[in-house]
């Protein structure tokens, strides 16, 4: 960050966040609500380490979880699948949105004040399945952690018609919603039958 912010200011920010959110989470606990925070730049949790810090600030309360949206990880060069595995007990919602990177030595990560879908941007949100998210690996990881919560498709593709893109996205996600096997693939070799 520039200008630099002192560690005291950052610490005070997380303390303020906890002071404001813990009373809300108390009510959520009383009524059985779980909040899913979207890890997103400009939020209190925007990457791996700020997510860890945010959860620690509210004492890892179960009422405070995460909305997994891989589109924000891709343009930051974070691992969306690793995030699922590392925060397995906190993934409360899955938001399917994709990002396409176009870093070519001129196109920057910060967007250069260019509009969405401008080919001079270093990255853009695109329809699910048209970007750099490895959706099959993501859904395999969600299966591995036993995720059974809600899954949505978020539309933010300024370069594609939403009726076509949304239908394709839903088809892609439905095809990836395969069940985990009930037995190991080689289980037939360990039986007498």
Q: Domain residues of the chain, as ranges?
A: 7-178
- The structure tokens listed for 127 are 């329809």
Asked if residues 103 and 154 have their Cβ atoms less than 8 Å apart, the reply is no
The whole model's pTM is what?
Answer: 0.91
98 token code pair: 């994709």
CATH topology of domain 7-178: TIM Barrel (3.20.20)
What are the counts of helices (DSSP H) followed by strands (DSSP E) for the chain?
6, 6
88-92, 164-168, 187-191: least confidently modelled range:
187-191
Burial state string for 2-18 with b = 16 or more CB within 10 A and e = fewer than 16: eeeeeeeeeeeebeebb
**Quick check: 192 pLDDT over 80?**
no
The per-residue pLDDT for 190 is 74
pLDDT at 127: 96
Q: Sort residue 40 into left (φ over 0), alpha (ψ -120 to 50) or beta.
A: beta
Q: Is the dihedral of CA 45, 47, 53, 56 positive or negative?
A: positive
Nearest to 149 by CA among 101, 94, 104: 94
Which strands make up the sheet holding 151-153, listed edge to edge? 35-38, 64-68, 91-96, 151-153
CA separation, residue 182 to residues 33, 179, 187 (Å) = 31, 9, 10
Position 33 pLDDT exceeds 70? yes
Q: In whole angstroms, what separates CA 59 from the centre of its chain?
A: 21
User: Cβ(91)–Cβ(145) under 8 Å?
Assistant: yes
């Amino acid at each position: 960050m520039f200008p630099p912010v002192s560690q005291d200011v950052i610490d005070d920010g997380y303390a303020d966040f906890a002071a404001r959110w813990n009373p809300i989470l108390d009510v959520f606990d009383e009524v059985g609500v779980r909040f899913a925070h979207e890890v997103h730049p400009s939020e209190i949790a925007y990457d791996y380490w700020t997510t860890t810090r945010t959860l620690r600030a509210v004492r890892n309360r179960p009422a405070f979880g995460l909305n997994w949206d891989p589109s924000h990880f891709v343009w930051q060069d974070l691992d969306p699948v690793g995030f699922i595995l590392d925060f397995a007990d906190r993934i409360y919602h899955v938001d399917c949105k994709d990002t396409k990177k176009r870093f070519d030595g001129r196109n920057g990560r910060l967007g250069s004040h260019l509009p969405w879908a401008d080919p001079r941007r270093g990255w853009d949100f695109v329809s699910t399945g048209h970007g750099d998210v490895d959706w099959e690996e993501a859904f395999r990881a969600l299966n591995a952690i036993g995720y059974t919560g809600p899954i949505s498709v978020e539309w933010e593709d300024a370069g594609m018609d939403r009726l076509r893109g949304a239908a394709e996205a839903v088809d892609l996600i439905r095809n990836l919603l395969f069940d985990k096997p009930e037995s190991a693939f080689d289980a037939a070799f360990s039986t007498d039958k």
